[in-house]
Structure 1
Amino acid sequence: MKKINKPLFYTFILLFLISVHKDLTVGTPLNNDTDGQNEQNLKMSAEQETITIIKVQVQQGDTVLSIVEAINQQRNHVNQLDISQVLSDFRTLNPGVEPLNIETGNYYYFPAY
């Protein structure tokens, strides 16, 4: 029985090393969509829901939530807003920007549900 276990063990080790080598050299391709997308009509799919994205310049006293509420009040969707989803969508649309650190005068993308 020991004679069978030793070659089987080495076979598994060899297959594991081959698998690791292939994964590190070939890897998984990243999805890099760089289609020319219109900033005003950019669409994002979030859990089978289409979200329209609007580029807005932040004014003095604006917050992410106040801007999203204003955008969605025009669309009569204010009662359906989930704050955590709004903040998550803002972070997704504006990589590297924290919702609490938006700056007056800068343009950011905001979700319109």
Structure 2
Amino acid sequence: MQILKKYILYIAIILLITSVYKDLSLGTNQIEHYRSDVILTDKNINNYTIIRLKAESGDTLLSIVESINESKTSLSPEKILTDFMELNPTSDPYHIKVGEWYYFPIYE
């Protein structure tokens, strides 16, 4: 019985070390880091790609769009608002609901 306990302990330690190694050695994509449930689409409209994200607590339209478009420093809030309303015609851009799915533009 002691041998079985030792084997189980060794296996658990090996799995733990392997898990920690993979966590530390693999990088994370910024968009995947922001949301784990991101779905990219093939649609290209008005010079942007569409991404579908689930809103979380504390999210605003501008905070989400700015975080997924980190390389774009000069995004016009009016353009973001217009594009969001085109992609989500039944949604109120001023009241993003937690847990709802929305389409957001990734500008090229």
Which of 53, 58, 63 matches 1:61? 58
Residue aligning to 1:41 = 41
Residue aligning to 1:105 = 99
One-letter code of the match for 2:91?
V
One-letter code of the match for 1:99?
P
- Which has the larger Rg? 1
One-letter code of the match for 2:83?
D
TM-score by length of 1: 0.57
Q: Whole-Å Cα distance in 1 between the matches of residues 54 and 97 of structure 2?
A: 9
Q: Whole-Å Cα distance in 1 between the matches of residues 53 and 94 of structure 2?
A: 16
The correspondence of residues 1-113 of structure 1 with structure 2, limited to 5 A, is 40-46=40-46, 50-73=47-70, 76-77=71-72, 79-113=73-107
- The root-mean-square deviation of aligned C-alpha atoms, in Å, is 1.3
Structure 1 runs, 4 residues or longer, greater than 6 Å off: none
- Unaligned regions of 5+ residues in structure 2, if any? 1-38
**Secondary structure in 1 matching 2:69:** helix
One-letter code of the match for 2:56?
Q
Paired positions, count = 69
- Unaligned regions of 5+ residues in structure 1, if any? 1-38
Q: How far does residue 102 in structure 1 lie from its aligned partner after superposition? A: 1.4
TM-score by length of 2: 0.59
